[in-house]
Amino acid sequence: MENALNLDTVVLSEDKKSIIILDQTLLPNETKYLSLDKAEDIWEAIYKLRVRGAPAISVTGGYAYYILADQADTENMDEFVSQCTKNMEYINSSRPTAVNLSWALNRMHSVLLSEKEGKGVAWMKERLMQEADAIREEDIQISRNIGAYGFELLEKLGKGVGIMTHCNAGTLATAKYGTALAPVYIALEQGWDPKKDLHVYCDETRPLLQGARLSAYEMQAAGVDTYVQCDNMASYTMKSGKIGIIFVGCDRVAANGDFANKIGTSGVAIIAKHYGIPFYVCAPSSTIDMTMESGEEIHIEQRKPEEVTEMWYEKRMAPEGVGVVNPAFDVTDHSLVTGIITEKGIATAPFKESFEKMGIKPVEKYVDKKSNTPL
């Protein structure tokens, strides 16, 4: 089993004409890369979770903006901007909850609008490629910084700590290292014994099993003492005293500290609060949406019922015609959060003030997550 740190989640092809992604829907049984250069294929890959994880989606968004811009067959800058805008809105519609996708698209579009005067289309295409590369390289350092702050928490708890996580926010969800699993990778770099010093408990994360398929795959490949549990077993494990800390990733954080993450996260946070277990959210500052006052404003993506009733089963496991509730995410209240670990430091309540002290500010938007139209 190959160490996941050696796998490139999202990269630009050597000829700079397509995005190369690791198809995560096939893991852990098959390692396959896809080459994407059409808008429809990129949209499908994001929607179908072939590429997933908020940071990895942001990298994909940056490269998607560039790849599609590079295909524009015009030397007229106004026409070029118009085509880029349409492509941006289309790609943005693939995941309505994860803010990192729109953040990357907005960043790319801001470069176009602010630097286009007096420049040719060919020059602008090269500049956009540079910006997309920068997003990827920055993500690696951001993840490493988050891991370093998280590792400080592990050091305080001491070796032998039990860590619980929900969904997958490891290296597969980013350009490298991850967010929620980054502290584990940093601990390994610091010489911690993967079998004796670290014990990771992965919620399977129904219905798409990102915890069982991806987080457990990553941790086992890294040699870490790893366990998979059904989502409804989290309370049992916490009550047993095996868990010292919980790390989760997220897809969007509101200004007050409410956050959206994979469905089931809020339940884990509620149980952790009951048992007095520290609950930390690992989030790049790009995931913090200071334009949203609270989690009530976060749009929750609703996915197809077949993911619940048919996927992973040889035969359909629920009656035909039965209603299905299948939200991709839930929103966890800020009162349940011990801290939010960013690359700039660890934010604590009151979160809005903490974010502002870190210099996190509202970002200008050219696409809106709710309507997918220009602001």
Tens digit of each residue's pLDDT (9 = 90 or more) over 230-286: 999 999 999 999 999 999 999 999 999 999 999 999 999 999 999 999 999 999 999
Distances (CA, A) of 264 to 18, 43, 132, 310: 35, 25, 32, 20
Question: At 111, is the pLDDT very low, low, confident or very high (cuts 50, 70, 90)?
Answer: very high
Question: Count of alpha carbons within 13 Å of 13, Cβ hemisphere only?
Answer: 14
Q: Is the pLDDT of residue 79 over 80?
A: yes
Phi, psi dihedrals of residue 58, rounded to the nearest 5°: -65, -40
The tokens describing 113, both together, are 């609008």
Distance of alpha carbon 98 from alpha carbon 365, whole angstroms: 14
Residue 368 reports pLDDT greater than 60: no
Contacts of 336 (CB under 8 A, 6+ apart): 266, 269, 270, 272, 273, 279
330 flagged as catalytic: no
pLDDT at 370: 42
Given a cut of 70, whether residue 222 has pLDDT beyond it is yes
pLDDT value at residue 203: 98
**Is residue 211 predicted with pLDDT exceeding 70?**
yes
* Catalytic position from the list 70, 139, 203, 251: 251
Looking at residue 140, what is its pLDDT? 95
pLDDT at 369: 42
The mean pLDDT of 73-84, rounded to a whole number, is 97
pLDDT for residue 5: 85
Residues 25-33 have a mean pLDDT of 94
Mean pLDDT of 33-50: 97
Residue 362 pLDDT level (bands cut at 50, 70, 90): confident
* Ramachandran class of 167: left when φ > 0, alpha when ψ lies in -120 to 50, beta otherwise: left
Return the pLDDT at 372. 38
pLDDT in tens, 150-176: 999 999 999 999 999 999 999 999 999
Name the amino acid, one letter, at 42. Answer: I
Using CA atoms, how far residue 169 sits from 147, 182, 219, in Å, is 11, 8, 11
Calculate what percentage of the chain has a pLDDT beyond 70.
Answer: 97
Compute the distance between CA of residue 183 and CA of residue 172 in angstroms, rounded to an integer.
15
Average pLDDT, the chain: 94
115 near 69, Cβ under 8 Å? Answer: no
Determine contact, residues 131/111, Cβ cutoff 8 Å: yes
Residue 342: C-alpha distances to residues 47, 150, 179, 282, 283 (Å):
26, 9, 9, 6, 5
Task: Locate 288 and state its tokens.
Answer: 């913090």
Q: CA of 25: how far to CAs of 45, 92, 262, in Å?
A: 10, 21, 16
* Structural domains in the chain, sorted by start: 4-139 (1.20.120.420), 145-357 (3.40.50.10470)
Beta strands across the sheet bearing 339-342: 225-229, 198-203, 161-165, 245-248, 279-282, 339-342, 345-347
What does the alpha-carbon distance between residue 171 and residue 179 come to, in Å, rounded to a whole number?
8
**In a 10 Å sphere around its CB, with 0-12 CB exposed, 13-18 middle and 19+ buried, how is residue 261 labelled?**
buried
Reported as a pLDDT band with limits 50, 70 and 90, residue 367 is low
CA distance 177 to 142: 9
pLDDT score, position 373? 36
Q: What is the pLDDT of residue 225?
A: 98
What pLDDT shows up at residue 236? Answer: 98
Q: Are 69 and 54 in contact (CB under 8 A)?
A: no
| CA–CA dist 228, 248 (Å, integer) | 15
Average pLDDT over residues 103-118: 95
Tell me the C-alpha distance between 336 and 293, whole Å: 17
Buried b (16+ CB within 10 A) or exposed e, 146-165: bbbbbbebbeeeeeebbbbb
Determine the Cα–Cα distance for residues 331 and 247; give it in Å rounded to an integer. 16
Residue 177 has pLDDT above 60, yes or no: yes
- Supply the DSSP symbol for 214: I
Cβ-proximal residues to 135 (8 Å cutoff; 6+ apart), any chain: 58, 59, 62, 104, 107
In the chain, what is the straight-line distance between the N-terminal and C-terminal CA atoms, in Å?
Answer: 46
Which pTM does this prediction carry? 0.91
* CA 31 remoteness from chain centre: 20
